[in-house]
């Protein structure tokens, strides 16, 4: 389980590469002479508040231990091993073991014997992992430099005489100067994008990491990717291949066991091919670059166009096909026997079925790239797993194929339904671009109206009232098609009240927020009333759920001091789906809404705000070294530097001296937990 945890942790760590820009530990070195050509090398680690590094001795299966490397040299020899301070021993809930760590400051010492009076330098290194009580940065190394001046005290003759012998001994033992587990410095880290904060570390026991939802998006992506793979199975390009391929393996194999093995290999190769595709997307774009796509206007518009093209293809206007020469070459390779032949059979399936699977794969990759990190790989794994499973299952139980429905016009209907879904999804990316630019061209009512139109036409199609040119004539409607039509029609009816301000919690995060609409304060009331304007503090606006909201940090802080209330910083984004879910599912709760309206001063800082900063506020970023030109960049810089995270939403309760009142909160849709978090911070403010 520990190895599994470490493997999963590295996946999430890669998807949060921005965390690696932080450096919570700094090292200084010094040399102390203790007489008779003996010296002590002193390494002092200064550790930021809330972070810690581990001991040199960590049980097997734990985090990366601290280790030191001193190069062999004729100028000195080490005496004993590195001495470390007492530190704190805790029962770590993640690794399920007792671990020693050092916080705030740690002093390590290494005794050496000097073998020359000449000046020289020792270039050593330290390997370490730095963590707080719920996240870690990747293990790394830093150079340590110790400078020795020319000594007036001559080196003892016997020391010089045995220098050569010592050098020989050093050659044999030099590999042992590094801590035994130093090679584990590539062990995975456990960075949770939503919780790179700096809470206090208990000196007796580390707190169990709080249950956050930052990695839920990957599981959600996997689930929908798996559903996408199931949908791809029921397309004209893939479904007929199942009985043909399984029959080939069972008939061409010497016995049933070999047939099952070959079919299983076929499924595994399908997974490998699609996972490689996801890996290429990650490698080409880069995990860190993908993290910015959700708010990048150009990418969102490009994705919108791509999905519209995919949708039109599924609706039957044209087919997206790969060059026939590719399929010919792969088909020839598939005739080769053995494992190689099976691999090329799987590749042939991927190419032949591309006209059906391509739009689905493209949609999944588009969605995955907006989540960044390992998302494209996770998405392709879920998609390919759904496609691969039937081949292995039906090879093991060929009799089950008799229960499969026969191919027919219904397969094309599946493609058309997928086309409508892609068209609806495409609108979200266009909405993201509009939100970031604040153009107000695709406001909430317009978005919902278009979705109502799309799903209304889909309802008519499912009920057989509309047919496309390539459809098989519908003489009757199956029970399954009728049931799906009823579900879609119910969804249309559900969305209609949204045109008049209904919250539509089941699709929260997809349409723009309620305040981004033609009637932000309700149907027929397009402006804030005079009474409401009077009630708003100077500099504030009517925010989500009509909560008075500041968008300027300094103005909000000044007002909080004036009314003697704590500040709640809301790091958010116009294109942040989870931010909208919190605002539409958690904040409207009467208890939570009462607190946000009456007990705190809300400052919402949009990290994707593209409004240009005044020239006087355009400064050089301490992170990238580039000039900050936009308002959102300013708030993003503040969040990263102060709270060591760039995930949204991210909520901070602080006092008038800008000190945190409790541990910041990330996305957490549990209303009671969020309410208790608010109450805890307010109680600490009143102490």
Adjacent-strand bridge partners of 58? none
pLDDT band (50, 70, 90) for residue 21: very low
Ranges 226-230, 340-344, 477-481, 550-554: which has the least confidence: 340-344
- Average pLDDT rounded to a whole number, residues 658-686: 91
On whether the CB atoms of residues 78 and 112 are closer than 8 A, the answer is yes
Ranges 247-256, 409-418, 596-605, 657-666: which has the least confidence: 247-256
Number of structural domains (the chain) is 4
For the chain, how far is it from start to end, CA to CA, in angstroms? 43
Kindly state whether residues 661 and 551 are assigned to the same domain: yes
pLDDT band (50, 70, 90) for residue 664: very high
3-state secondary structure of 293: helix
On whether the CB atoms of residues 63 and 33 are closer than 8 A, the answer is no
Give the CATH number for residue 644: 3.40.30.10
- Whether residue 677 is predicted with pLDDT greater than 90 in this model: the reply is yes
Closest of 259, 293, 279 to residue 384, by C-alpha: 279
Q: Among 148, 181, 206, identify where a domain stops.
A: 148
What is the CA angle 214-218-221, rounded to 5?
A: 135
Kindly state whether residues 65 and 116 are assigned to the same domain: yes
3-state secondary structure of 311: helix
What token pair was written down for 26? 């700094």
On whether the CB atoms of residues 546 and 598 are closer than 8 A, the answer is no
Is there a domain that residue 125 lies in? yes
- Owning domain of residue 221: 217-404
Helices (H) and strands (E) in the chain, counts: 21, 16
Kindly state whether residues 562 and 682 are assigned to the same domain: yes
- For the stretch 92-132, pLDDT in tens is 765 667 888 899 899 999 999 888 888 889 988 888 888 87
Kindly state whether residues 568 and 662 are assigned to the same domain: yes
Is there a domain that residue 204 lies in? no
What token pair was written down for 236? 């004209």
- Whether residue 291 is predicted with pLDDT greater than 90 in this model: the reply is no
Q: Residue 430 contacts by C-beta under 8 Å, 6 or more apart in sequence?
A: 300, 301, 304, 442
- For the stretch 156-192, pLDDT in tens is 544 444 444 444 434 443 433 333 333 333 333 333 3
User: Across the chain, what does the average pLDDT equal?
Assistant: 76
Adjacent-strand bridge partners of 46? 26, 105
Kindly state whether residues 286 and 426 are assigned to the same domain: no
- Average pLDDT rounded to a whole number, residues 16-45: 76
pLDDT band (50, 70, 90) for residue 42: very high
Kindly state whether residues 259 and 390 are assigned to the same domain: yes
pLDDT band (50, 70, 90) for residue 562: very high
Kindly state whether residues 378 and 434 are assigned to the same domain: no
Kindly state whether residues 371 and 271 are assigned to the same domain: yes
Closest of 2, 19, 8, 48 to residue 136, by C-alpha: 19
Is there a domain that residue 212 lies in? no
CA distance 393 to 290: 36
Kindly state whether residues 641 and 562 are assigned to the same domain: yes
- For the stretch 485-494, pLDDT in tens is 999 999 999 9
| More confident: 461 or 337 | 461
Say what percent of the chain tops pLDDT 90: 19
DSSP secondary structure string, 12-66?
A: HHHTTGGGGG---EEEEEEEEEEETTEEEEEEEEEE-TT-EEE-S---TTSSPPP
Q: What is the dihedral of CA 429, 435, 436, 437, to 10 degrees?
A: 110
| More confident: 534 or 141 | 141
Give the CATH number for residue 133: 2.60.40.1250
CA distance 217 to 205: 30
DSSP secondary structure string, 622-637?
A: TTTSSB--BHHHHHHH
For position 504, what pLDDT does the model report? Answer: 87
- For the stretch 565-582, pLDDT in tens is 999 999 998 877 788 888
What token pair was written down for 199? 């809470």
For position 287, what pLDDT does the model report? Answer: 43
What is the CA angle 143-146-149, rounded to 5?
A: 155
For position 280, what pLDDT does the model report? Answer: 75
């Amino acid at each position: 389980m520990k190895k599994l945890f470490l493997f999963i942790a590295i996946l999430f760590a890669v998807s949060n590469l921005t965390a690696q820009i932080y450096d919570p530990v700094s090292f200084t070195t010094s040399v102390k002479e203790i007489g008779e050509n003996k010296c002590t090398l002193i390494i002092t680690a200064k550790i930021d508040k809330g972070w810690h590094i581990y001991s040199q001795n960590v049980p097997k299966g734990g985090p990366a231990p601290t280790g030191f490397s001193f190069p062999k040299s004729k100028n000195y020899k080490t005496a004993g091993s590195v001495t470390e301070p007492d530190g704190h021993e805790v029962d770590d809930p993640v690794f399920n073991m007792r671990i020693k760590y050092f916080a705030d400051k740690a002093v390590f010492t290494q005794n050496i014997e000097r073998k020359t009076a000449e000046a020289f330098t020792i270039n050593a290194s330290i390997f370490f992992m730095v963590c707080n009580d719920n996240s870690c940065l990747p293990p790394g190394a830093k150079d340590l430099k110790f400078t020795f001046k020319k000594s007036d005290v001559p080196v003892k003759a016997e020391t010089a005489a045995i220098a050569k012998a010592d050098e020989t001994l050093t050659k044999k033992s030099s590999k042992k100067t590094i801590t035994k587990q130093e090679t584990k410095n590539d062990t995975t880290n456990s960075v949770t994008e939503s919780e790179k904060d700096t809470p206090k570390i208990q000196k007796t026991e580390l707190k169990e990491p709080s249950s956050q939802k930052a990695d839920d998006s990957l599981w959600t992506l996997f689930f929908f990717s798996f559903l996408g793979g199931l949908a791809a199975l029921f397309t004209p390009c893939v479904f007929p291949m199942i009985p043909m391929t399984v029959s080939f393996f069972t008939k061409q194999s010497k016995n049933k066991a070999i047939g099952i093995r070959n079919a299983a290999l076929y499924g595994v190769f399908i997974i490998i091919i699609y996972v490689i595709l996801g890996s290429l997307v990650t490698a080409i774009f880069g995990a860190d670059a993908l993290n910015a796509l959700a708010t990048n206007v150009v990418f969102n518009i490009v994705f919108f166009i791509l999905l519209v093209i995919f949708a039109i293809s599924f609706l039957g206007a044209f087919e997206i096909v790969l060059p026939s020469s590719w399929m010919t070459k792969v088909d020839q390779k598939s005739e080769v026997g053995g494992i190689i032949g099976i691999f090329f059979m799987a590749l042939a399936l991927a190419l032949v079925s591309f006209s059906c699977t391509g739009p689905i794969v493209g949609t999944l990759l588009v969605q995955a790239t907006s989540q960044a990190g390992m998302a494209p790989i996770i998405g392709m794994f879920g998609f390919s797993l759904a496609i691969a499973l039937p081949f292995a299952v039906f090879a093991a139980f060929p009799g089950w194929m008799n229960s499969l429905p026969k191919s027919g016009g219904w397969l094309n209907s599946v493609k058309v339904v997928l086309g409508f879904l892609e068209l609806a999804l495409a609108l979200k990316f266009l909405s993201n671009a509009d939100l970031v630019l604040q153009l107000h061209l695709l406001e909430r009512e317009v978005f919902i109206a278009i979705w109502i139109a799309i799903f209304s036409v889909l309802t008519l199609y499912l009920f057989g009232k509309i047919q496309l040119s390539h459809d098989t004539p519908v003489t009757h409607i199956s029970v399954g098609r009728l049931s799906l039509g009823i579900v879609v029609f119910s969804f249309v009816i559900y969305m209609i009240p949204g045109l008049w301000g209904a919250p539509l919690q089941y699709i929260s995060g997809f349409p723009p927020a309620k305040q981004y609409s033609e009637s932000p304060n309700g149907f027929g009331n397009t402006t804030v009333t005079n009474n409401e304007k009077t009630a708003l503090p100077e500099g504030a606006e009517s925010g989500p759920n009509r909560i008075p909201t500041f968008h300027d940090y300094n103005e909000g802080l000044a007002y909080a001091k004036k009314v003697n209330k704590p500040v709640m910083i809301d790091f958010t984004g116009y294109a942040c789906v989870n931010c909208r879910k919190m605002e539409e599912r958690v904040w409207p709760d009467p208890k939570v809404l009462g607190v946000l309206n009456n007990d705190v001063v809300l400052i919402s800082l949009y990290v994707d705000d593209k409004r240009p900063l005044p020239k006087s506020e355009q400064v050089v970023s301490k992170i990238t070294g580039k000039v900050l030109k936009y308002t959102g960049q300013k708030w993003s810089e503040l969040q990263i530097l102060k709270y060591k995270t760039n995930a949204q939403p991210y909520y901070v309760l602080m006092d008038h001296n800008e000190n945190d009142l409790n541990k910041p909160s990330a996305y957490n849709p549990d209303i009671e937990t969020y309410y208790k978090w608010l109450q805890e911070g307010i109680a600490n403010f009143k102490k």
